[in-house]
Amino acid sequence: MDTSGEIKILPDFIANQIAAGEVVQRPESVVKELVENSLDAGAGEIEVTINDTGKGLIHISDNGCGMSRHDLELSTRRHATSKVYTQDDLHAISSFGFRGEALASISSVAKLEIRTRTAGNHSHGWQLLSEPNSEIAIIPIECPFGTQIFVRNLFFNVPARRKFLKSDPSEFRLLNQTMIGFALANPEVKFFFGDGKKTIFNIKPSILRERIRAVLGKKVCDNMLELSLEDEMINIYGFAGKPTIAKASKSGQFLFLNGRPIKNKSLSHAVFSSYGPLLGAKQHPQFVIMLEIDPSSIDINVHPQKHEVKFSDDRFVYNSLRNAIKKSLQENNLSLQMEASDSFEYQKKIGNDKFAGGQEQFVNKNTGEIIGNKFSYGRAKSSGQQERNYQNKANISQRMAFDEIYSRAEEGNPEDKAYTDSQEIKFWQLHNKYIFTHTEKGVLIIDQHNAHERINYERALSVLEKEFAQSQKLLFPVELELNQSESSCFDEIKSELEKLGFIFKEGDSLVISSIPLDLKSGNAEDEFKEILDNYSEYKTINPTLRRDNIAASFACRKSIKSGQKLSLWEMEQLHRDLMNCQTPSVCPHGRPVVLEMSIPDLDKSFGRSPDNSFINK
Ligand code: ADP
Ligand code: MG
């Protein structure tokens, strides 16, 4: 190595290779840069074909403006760009490219061929061939109008970078996600995307909704709510998915700023938080949202990949986006107006304040640790003065006590009759499936199975977190025979099952000696196997959410089924427990749990305007 300390200017190809490290990290970045160039060139048709997930070949062809010989020659030089000339341009960037780095970088880490022909060139076009560290060659060639680019053997001369790539499926996923983004952001452009001989999509120009259908599928499209908000400073439009199609990953989220896909944590949060309790903590809404803002109020040059964006008024954009989504959720009756932290307040508001009277804490007798708050609830005696408190435990004898009161009241026992009379009947079960109850604002409809699943899921999660559960000893321990997959699943989650209240004896065979307190003791084997089954199923859907999967498997098994008749007491308890949940509105699988219809909603449905609903009786 030359260590004389003399300063030298790096040769071009080395400088380009260093810059390439920033601009070209993987096949996906090449595709992104090249498609952006095609869009900048005004193309209405863009075709992208890859071979060997882009490592063999990336081929892009467009019908854009093409390049003259002169431009072609400059195009692979660093900082050669036709897009920014002055300082002012830099402040209001509206094209994708502006650094003049992409082609230079790509040509330093791959074999590059460009064929291009401008509309003015009637006889022929030009072909450029370049290889890293050698002179470019340009010759006339017969070719269609527009530009075709071939990137071959990406990173063949930088093996370290090749090694750094993820597995083929992961790299493909990134490519696909980027192509979907382009297709969504430019519905008026015809796109073809192919992998080897396979067509991934081939879509004609259309409107955004149709684009969503074409690339994200019918189900997503049918479950999207339209957004629009426009004022002097900002225009927001697009679609946000109903909570029912929320995903465990963020792969269904597409946010664009002036037609460019962007990443911005604060804006993602704006979207997520607009849903409030409609979504669980690990659920991500799907959306395709377009923001249009005057380019001079944005700084896009924050990151070379140009994904990360800064706004001069962050909070304004945040709030506008939130308002747009909340408005749409509300218009579609999907807003519950109930924040998770409000659930206690909410319960009071809807007239259940008698339940909020004696709040008690459950304490682990062994450790003194507070396990959680449980409402105890009392009832006014016929005199209305004394209150009798019942602890809210899922305890059979207690439930019978309540059911008994109701049935005795039905038989005419005066004291119990007075009690039930003093209780306005607030719950009504429809088809042994849905529970109706009225609220201050209107009516709440609860899906009993989903609701119970939510409750059990949150309980299981809290037990898993706090390492404490109550067990009931089985009178007759159950000996289990597990098949291969059950037994490997069991090994995997044994310690969590123990936390949930199972006690096992392992010898020649597996024996369950105790089960969680609130599991039915009659059929321990079936219940247990179903938990294992559920767990292996959820695991394949969502391998990273281990604890949630265990809690959900447990919750599902334990839950009241649809079709099960519930007593008033059970409905009351279910409702109360639900309102105590962190996220009462969705079940662990993302299905809605409650639906609220307000009086104005009802008025609207019956063609009454809310103001004169009293007059026009
Ligand atoms: P930038 O896009 O930042 O200007 P690039 O290296 O991506 O830099 O491209 C360099 C130049 O090559 C562009 O400014 C443009 O003039 C020209 N160019 C690249 N791709 C195309 C294309 N598909 N059609 C027409 N011109 C292109
Ligand atoms: Mg570019």
For the ranges 74-78, 339-343, 539-543, which has the lowest average pLDDT? 339-343
The structure tokens 């099960």 sit at 564
Strand extents, DSSP E, 334-419: 359-363, 370-375, 377-380, 387-390
Which pLDDT band, with edges at 50, 70 and 90, does 96 fall under?
low
Q: Between 474 and 54, whose confidence is greater?
A: 54
Calpha distance 201→512 (Å, rounded): 53
For the ranges 159-168, 211-220, 306-315, 331-340, which has the lowest average pLDDT? 331-340
For atom 14 of ligand 1, the residue with the nearest CA is 81
| Span from the CA of 69 to the centroid of ligand 1 (angstroms) | 13
Which pLDDT band, with edges at 50, 70 and 90, does 239 fall under?
very high
> What's residue 446's pLDDT?
94
Average pLDDT, the chain: 78
| Span from the CA of 283 to the centroid of ligand 1 (angstroms) | 39
- Mutate which of 38, 63, 103 for ligand 1? The one with the most ligand atoms within 8 Å of its CB, which is 103
Residues with CB under 6 A from ligand 1: 33, 37-38, 41, 62, 64-67, 71, 75, 80-83, 97-104, 147
Is residue 520 over pLDDT 90? Answer: no
Question: Which of 517, 507, 521 has its CA nearest to residue 479?
Answer: 507
Is residue 420 over pLDDT 70? Answer: no
Q: Between 375 and 369, whose confidence is greater?
A: 369
> What's residue 540's pLDDT?
76
DSSP class of 513: E
Calpha distance 154→160 (Å, rounded): 12
Q: Between 249 and 401, whose confidence is greater?
A: 249
**pLDDT digits 0-9 by tens, 580-589:** 888 888 888 7
> What's residue 381's pLDDT?
28
Is residue 333 over pLDDT 70? Answer: yes
> What's residue 130's pLDDT?
96
For atom 12 of ligand 1, the residue with the nearest CA is 75
Span 57-71, average pLDDT = 96
> What's residue 161's pLDDT?
86
> What's residue 553's pLDDT?
86
Q: Between 554 and 342, whose confidence is greater?
A: 554
pTM beyond 0.95: no
Question: Which of 408, 500, 396 has its CA nearest to residue 456?
Answer: 500
Q: Between 142 and 368, whose confidence is greater?
A: 142
Span 183-191, average pLDDT = 97
Angle at 430 between CA 427 and CA 433, to 5 degrees: 100
- Mutate which of 16, 81, 121, 300 for ligand 1? The one with the most ligand atoms within 8 Å of its CB, which is 81
Calpha distance 579→346 (Å, rounded): 8
Task: Please report which ligand is nearest the Cα atom of 78.
Answer: 1
Is residue 366 over pLDDT 90? Answer: no
| Span from the CA of 36 to the centroid of ligand 1 (angstroms) | 9
Contact predicate 499/371, CB 8 Å: no
| Span from the CA of 102 to the centroid of ligand 2 (angstroms) | 5
For the ranges 94-108, 112-126, 570-584, which has the lowest average pLDDT? 94-108
Span 112-118, average pLDDT = 97
Calpha distance 323→519 (Å, rounded): 44
> What's residue 286's pLDDT?
96
Is residue 403 over pLDDT 50? Answer: no
> What's residue 547's pLDDT?
85
Which pLDDT band, with edges at 50, 70 and 90, does 417 fall under?
low
Which pLDDT band, with edges at 50, 70 and 90, does 433 fall under?
very high
Is residue 34 over pLDDT 80? Answer: yes
Span 49-69, average pLDDT = 96
**Which tokens in the block code for residue 31?**
């595709």
Is residue 360 over pLDDT 70? Answer: no
**pLDDT digits 0-9 by tens, 259-301:** 888 877 888 889 998 998 888 878 899 999 999 988 777 765 5
**Which tokens in the block code for residue 151?**
């990137």
DSSP for 90-146, written as a single string: HHT--SS--SS-HHHHHHHHSEEEEEEE-TT--S-EEEEEE-TTS--EEEEE---SE
Q: Who surrounds ion ligand 2 at CB < 5 A?
A: 37, 97, 102
Each as own residue / partner, the long-range contacts of residues 138-142 (CB below 8 Å, 24 or more positions apart, any chain) are: 138/69, 138/72, 138/73, 141/115
The structure tokens 């004022």 sit at 231
Calpha distance 268→318 (Å, rounded): 9
Atom of ligand 1 nearest to the CA of 62: 23
Which pLDDT band, with edges at 50, 70 and 90, does 20 fall under?
low
